[in-house]
A and B are shown apart, each in its own frame.
Chain A
Amino acid sequence: MSVLLEAIHVKKYFPIYGGIIPRVVNYVRAVDDVTLSIRGGEVVALVGESGSGKSTFGNIVIGLMKPDEGRVLFEGRDIYSLKGPIKKEVRHNLQIVFQNPDSSLNPRMQVASILSEAIKEMNPELSKYEVIEEVLKLLESVGLNPDHAYKYPHELSGGEKQRVAIARVVAMKPKLIVADEPVSSLDVSVRSQILNLLMDIQAKLNAAILFISHDLGVVWSISDRVAVMYLGRIVEIADTEELFNYPSHPYTAILLNSAPLLTNMKKVRSEYLKPIGEPPSPINPPSGCRFHTRCPLAKEICRREEPSFKEVSNGHYSACHFIDKAPFT
């Protein structure tokens, strides 16, 4: 499939103000030169811990935050310099499912109103009754029954709210969906229901998904490719099975090692692979390779020189001075 969305050398710095006369004293380098392309219909997972910049990147991709440098191209067009009807079309095609279902639904609107808003945006000519019919169809497609239509968000469970949020996205028939930790706030027994729903929707719409998560088990299950972020940069990217079985970057290996997993996934067992110390702040990232302060394998060159992306194998890239197909197994 062809490339749907391309983020090219995207940077986003948040200014920090200080001093008696407020001026910019420093920047939080939330996203610091990220290039990523997403093909139509593929599921790309973006993995990282707090401070990695993954959520900020998600916001930039979806058109909510203009990057300070770099461009985001959707079907070849720069989404931040569009005007006119094409702007609307692109806007409709980029949708997002938020982490917290409580705050993503207006507490004063009934489910039907929430969904009508999206339906009317796509089909402004529909009559009031036709809209309600569409609402009922939407509810069914996300596993809710018609009686949910007249409920208010506070009358729904977390899983049900998230289904409504997903229904709202489906109404827009987007080509790209950013899912930002869509199940992290939900009960464990409900998560797999919602993930299955998300995958169904993805298949039906043949939409691409940028799946932002810190849950490696879910990533293993649903994604085609995985990009690992650390302190505003992508440190490794590969097809999912390749990444999990043959991680090349030490940070990826440590991440895989740290997650308590019960799956029959291959667990990377390397006793000495533990991170050293605390994560540095994105305000003053370390010199050279950003991970060198915590990397148990760091050498002199890691402190001096920033590693560039090297190809490990087909489609598998890692930003480390010492790439090897599988140094950790």
Chain B
Amino acid sequence: MSEKILSIENLKVYYYLHQGVVKAVDDVSLDVFKGEVLGIAGESGSGKSTLAHAILGLIKPPGIIVGGKIIFKGIDLTKLSQDEMRKIRGSKIAMVFQDPNTYLNPVYTSGFQVAEVFEAHNNMKIVDAIKSKVTEIFRLVRIPEPSKRVYAYPHELSGGMRQRVLISIGIASRPDLLIADEPTSSLDVTIQAEILSLIKEIQSQIGMAMIFISHDLGLLYEVSDRIAIMYAGKLVEVGKAHDVIMNPLHPYTKALLESVKYTRKSKLPVIEGAPPSLINPPSGCRFHPRCKYATDKCKIMEPKLKTIDNRVVCCHLYGD
């Protein structure tokens, strides 16, 4: 059993808005082990992005971490000051976000933006960093002609290249944990496949742990060791990727997998309703209004996380 690199305990992140309190992440506990790829699946409103932001210390008012701990290598990140967090963010815990168009500054060269990591955390001069470290990283992420491309501006690069630059920024400092939030969603399917295999390769080469967030279960199946499913701010299922996808336990996971089993010329399986509002989530189990197996108990009582054989599931169907 390898050691834990990140341990999220009973995390609660709420947003205080004029319409009410949005319970974006509501009592989530999750571990990430050294060197593994943990996939987090969920739709909009599931809380997966908020979770990523919380780990990175990027929650700002009206969002507040209301409770719980995020323990990274023995330190509780929720208790750190902004300055202390800044030292960790980008060096020990790094991120790759979805849209390279908004996350890359159009007025700086790609090499400059990667070099900023070294300037911030290793006290290197940008010019030196570009020549040595950045060129090397570009080679690692398979950007052709790396020594020339470090001087290219984002708009001179294609979508796939830009995403590789984002990945470079993420891995520049050889972080212990990389958080990738929908890193391939904005890419074409053929480029997506390449970037995905690149990410997998680098992850095992560097030996870093990775949290891969996506709404696409097929993608997660290809890339993750373990998968966690989130719904309406809660964790509903966690387990080995193969187990969760081939033998799902939670009704939501089952329904989600059913709905993408596209069978030829027949009605697609449907999950009735829509993801709930997080200001007034349904009582009891948040999934009950859409669940085939819902009982009265599900309407009143929130189920607790249960461990069955190395898997975790949060549903009354599995006893209480």
In-complex Cβ contact of B270 among A50, A187, A196, A275 (8 A): A196
B218 touches A260 (CB 8 A): yes
A262 touches B257 (CB 8 A): yes
In the assembled complex, which residues on chain A have CB atoms less than 8 Å from the CB atom of B259? 188-189, 191-192
Chain B 191-203 interface 0/1 with A at a Cβ cutoff of 8 Å (1 = within):
1111010000000
In the assembled complex, which residues on chain B have CB atoms less than 8 Å from the CB atom of A191? 259
A192 touches B221 (CB 8 A): no
User: For the complex, is B18 an interface residue (Cβ under 8 Å from A)?
Assistant: no
User: For the complex, is B289 an interface residue (Cβ under 8 Å from A)?
Assistant: no
A-B pairs with beta carbons under 8 Å apart, 25 shown: A50-B159, A187-B275, A188-B216, A189-B275, A189-B290, A191-B259, A192-B259, A192-B268, A192-B270, A192-B271, A193-B270, A193-B272, A214-B189, A217-B262, A221-B268, A240-B264, A258-B190, A260-B196, A260-B216, A261-B218, A262-B245, A263-B263, A264-B263, A278-B158, A278-B160
Residues 223-267 (chain B) with a chain A CB within 8 angstroms: 245, 255-257, 259-267
Query: With A196-B268, A278-B191 known to touch, is A263 a contact of B275 (CB < 8 Å)?
Result: no
B192 touches A258 (CB 8 A): yes
User: For the complex, is B107 an interface residue (Cβ under 8 Å from A)?
Assistant: no
Chain B residue nearest to A190 in the complex (CB): B274
A221 touches B265 (CB 8 A): yes
Residues 169-193 (chain A) with a chain B CB within 8 angstroms: 187-193
User: For the complex, is A298 an interface residue (Cβ under 8 Å from B)?
Assistant: no
Q: Bound state CA distance, A303 and B264, in angstroms?
A: 37
In-complex Cβ contact of B217 among A221, A241, A254, A262 (8 A): A262
B194 touches A217 (CB 8 A): no
Residues 249-264 (chain A) with a chain B CB within 8 angstroms: 254-255, 257-264
In-complex Cβ contact of B271 among A189, A257, A261 (8 A): A189
The A interface is mostly helix, strand or loop, or mixed, namely helix
Q: Bound state CA distance, A49 and B263, in angstroms?
A: 23
A262 touches B260 (CB 8 A): yes
Q: How many A-B residue pairs have CB under 8 A?
A: 109
Residue of A187, A191, A216, A261 with most chain B CB atoms under a 10 A cut-off = A187
User: For the complex, is A146 an interface residue (Cβ under 8 Å from B)?
Assistant: no
Chain A residue nearest to B46 in the complex (CB): A187
Q: Bound state CA distance, A193 and B188, in angstroms?
A: 25
Closest 10 A/B residue pairs (Cβ):
A260-B218, A192-B268, A49-B188, A221-B262, A258-B193, A217-B262, A187-B43, A189-B271, A192-B259, A262-B218
In the assembled complex, which residues on chain A have CB atoms less than 8 Å from the CB atom of B211? none
B256 touches A279 (CB 8 A): no
User: For the complex, is B156 an interface residue (Cβ under 8 Å from A)?
Assistant: no
Q: Bound state CA distance, A158 and B194, in angstroms?
A: 31
Chain B 265-292 interface 0/1 with A at a Cβ cutoff of 8 Å (1 = within):
1111111101100000000000000100
A279 touches B188 (CB 8 A): yes
In the assembled complex, which residues on chain B have CB atoms less than 8 Å from the CB atom of A196? 267-268, 270
Residues 144-203 (chain B) with a chain A CB within 8 angstroms: 144, 158-161, 188-194, 196
In the assembled complex, which residues on chain A have CB atoms less than 8 Å from the CB atom of B260? 188, 192, 217, 262-263
Chain A 212-245 interface 0/1 with B at a Cβ cutoff of 8 Å (1 = within):
0010111011100000000000000000110000
Q: Bound state CA distance, A213 and B128, in angstroms?
A: 46
In the assembled complex, which residues on chain B have CB atoms less than 8 Å from the CB atom of A50? 159, 188
Query: With A199-B267, A260-B216 known to touch, is A187 a contact of B262 (CB < 8 Å)?
Result: no
In the assembled complex, which residues on chain B have CB atoms less than 8 Å from the CB atom of A8? none
